[in-house]
């Protein structure tokens, strides 16, 4: 079976698992636990540049991480979908506004003269439909994060955030797929030694 076909099957199964998790009574607590594990493993530091995301329904939220990083003086950036089929990450501080993007996801409000961050990342936090213990990630199939992750230097710390039921034995990969260095779930943090780049902060 082709990788494309295997990804399509896993994506369908993964979305069903996400819907089931979102509807469960424990999803809120488990989402909080995943963020707490993340913060213990990757504590905020003043001045660092961190890319976060606004969660779709069924994705682990990032609000606790946001509050902790802002309180520590970190610089946070969130994605906007551009007309070129890529993500541009703009700064977002306490009190800055949001607007709804083309997929119904909150994005930083119209940046005006503000420029997106092009590099110099310290940590990038990414969602996904499924992950495996080798750090391989399956997204929603639009390729936005694939292109963004592929543009990063290998030394930039890449961390997936998910519920434990999104962890599968194997995610099929293409040559352009970029693994994460670590995955935080409500059960703890999995460090991935096989991922390119260094998983150490």
* DSSP class per residue in 36-89: HHHHHHS---TT-EEE--PPPTTSPP-HHHHHHHHHTT-EEEEEEE-TTS-EEE
Report pLDDT digits (tens) over 108-156: 998 888 899 999 999 999 999 999 999 999 999 888 999 999 999 999 9
Q: Which tokens sit at 64?
A: 């606790």
Give residue limits of the domains in the chain: 3-191
The predicted structure's pLDDT at residue 65: 99
Model-level pTM greater than 0.85? yes
The highest-level CATH class for domain 3-191 is: alpha beta
The predicted structure's pLDDT at residue 85: 79
The predicted structure's pLDDT at residue 142: 87
Q: Which tokens sit at 83?
A: 């007309």
Q: Please tell me which residue, 92 or 111, carries the higher pLDDT value.
A: 92
Cα dihedral across residues 114, 143, 179, 162: positive or negative:
positive
**How many helices (DSSP H) and strands (DSSP E) are in the chain?**
4, 11
Q: Kind and range of the H or E element at 8? A: helix 3-23
């Amino acid at each position: 079976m082709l990788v494309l076909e295997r990804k399509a099957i896993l994506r369908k199964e993964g979305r069903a698992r996400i819907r089931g998790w979102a509807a469960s009574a424990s999803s809120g607590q488990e989402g909080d636990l995943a963020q707490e594990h993340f913060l213990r493993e990757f504590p905020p530091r003043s001045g660092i540049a961190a890319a976060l995301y606004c969660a779709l329904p069924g994705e682990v939220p990032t609000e606790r991480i946001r509050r902790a990083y802002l309180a520590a003086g970190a610089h946070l950036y969130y994605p906007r979908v551009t007309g070129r089929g890529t993500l541009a990450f703009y700064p977002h501080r306490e009190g800055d506004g949001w607007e709804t993007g083309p997929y119904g996801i909150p994005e930083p409000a119209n940046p005006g003269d503000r420029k997106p961050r092009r590099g110099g990342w310290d940590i990038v936090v990414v969602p996904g439909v499924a992950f495996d213990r080798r750090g391989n990630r399956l997204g929603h199939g639009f390729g936005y994060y694939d292109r963004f992750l592929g543009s990063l230097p290998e030394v930039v710390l890449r961390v997936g955030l998910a519920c434990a039921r999104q962890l599968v034995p194997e995610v099929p990969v293409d040559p352009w797929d970029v693994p994460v260095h670590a995955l935080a779930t409500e059960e703890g943090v999995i460090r991935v030694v096989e991922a390119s780049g260094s998983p150490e902060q």
